[in-house]
Amino acid sequence: MKAISKIFGLMLTIAVAFSSCGGDDDNGDGKSEYTLKDAICKYSHDLGIASAGAQTITLQTTTNLDDMLKGYDYVAPITGGTMNLTKVTSIEIVGLKEGVVLQKFSLTINGVTKEFGDITTAKIELYNDVNLEYFKNVFNTMVSQKKLIVSATFTPSSKITDADALKVNFAFNGNFTYRK
């Protein structure tokens, strides 16, 4: 009877040892998943110069997710992410002069276009409740494609010059997962 009890105890010990090996979801590659919390992806898209009353389509620009996360301690590539719906997240027009209207302003990001209507100095913040779903989709696509491809279309009411430094600033606050 003692021999059976010892064998059973040994089997139980071995079973517990095997079940506690394996780490956090290592997918068999020996790597564990980590989270980069409250990281801010920043990017500025230059709206360039434009003639008054003429429809302007900016050059399409591309930035990589890893470039937007420079300065943070993580191991590329990012494998997932969730957007933090905070005031730290911001998508806004900067450099717009008082009295200038960007008529029918739209952004195309990663192939998806959204029109924001007429933009004035009173309406430069594009990240708001009305546009929340669009920017959540932009964030998710940015994470899955690991880049942002951006262009803008608008018709200015007044001439826009290089001195105006008109641009769209993006700041996405999120939690990002990676493996190491």
Please report, for the chain, the start and end positions of each structural domain, with discontinuous segments joined by +: 28-179
- Per-residue pLDDT at 38: 95
Ranges of H-type helices in the chain: 2-20, 65-68, 132-145
Tokens of 55: 């429809």
Annotation: CATH topology of 28-179: Jelly Rolls (2.60.120)
Q: What count of other Cβ atoms lies within 10 Å of the Cβ of residue 88?
A: 12
pTM of the shown model? 0.81
- Per-residue pLDDT at 25: 53
The segments of the chain whose pLDDT lies below 50 read: 1, 3-23
Whole-Å CA distances, 175 to 34, 38, 79, 100, 145: 10, 5, 11, 37, 16
Q: For the chain, how far is it from start to end, CA to CA, in angstroms? A: 48
